[in-house]
């Protein structure tokens, strides 16, 4: 996940992993064009965010923003990646609204398969990746390959970047 986000955003990321085992932190962060927290959820039957998850995610964002917003900017989005999501769209929207009310940050969901497709799409059009409007992409509830494909087509049609 970290490497894919670093590639897409042309920014540096950190995976907290083993160094932060007993601390309450997400899987990692990418800082640069956009500041994103990311967290992977490996659930055999799909992931459904709980109210406690939302509170915990918002706590991560609020703590980061209190410490670092003046130095590196605020967290723009918290990206949750899973094999699948079991919650219906309206339930995910409610969780995202609750999250936003707690920390003024977007909550985004992307399946691992879609994330892989997005990285592949952008890799094939990598000369255009810096022109993509990543803030728009990472403001969507569900991040899907179709939104990236349409943005790549728009940039290609402009013929400004070869």
The count of domains in the chain is 1
Q: Which residue has the higher pLDDT, 65 or 148?
A: 65
- pTM, full prediction: 0.91
pLDDT in tens, 67-106: 999 999 999 999 999 999 998 899 999 999 999 999 999 9
Handedness of CA 27, 123, 31, 49 (dihedral sign): negative
Q: Which domain holds residue 63?
A: 2-158
CATH number (domain holding residue 137):
3.40.91.30
Separation of CA 13 from chain center: 12
Q: How far is CA 143 from CA 15, 60, 67, 73, 99, in A?
A: 21, 21, 28, 23, 17
């Amino acid at each position: 996940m970290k490497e894919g986000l670093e590639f897409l955003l042309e920014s540096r990321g950190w995976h907290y992993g083993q160094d932060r085992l007993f601390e309450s932190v997400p899987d990692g962060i990418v800082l640069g064009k956009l500041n994103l927290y990311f967290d992977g959820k490996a659930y055999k039957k799909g992931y459904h965010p709980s109210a406690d998850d939302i509170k915990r995610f918002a706590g991560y964002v609020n703590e980061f923003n209190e410490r670092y917003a003046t130095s590196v900017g605020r967290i723009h989005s918290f990206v949750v990646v899973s094999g699948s999501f079991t919650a219906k769209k309206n339930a995910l929207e409610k969780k995202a609204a609750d999250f936003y009310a707690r920390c003024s940050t977007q909550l985004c969901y992307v399946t691992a398969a879609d994330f892989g497709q997005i990285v592949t799409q952008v890799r094939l059009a990598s000369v255009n990746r810096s022109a993509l409007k990543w803030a728009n992409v990472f403001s969507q509830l569900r991040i899907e390959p179709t939104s990236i494909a349409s943005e790549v087509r728009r940039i290609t049609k402009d013929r400004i970047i070869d």
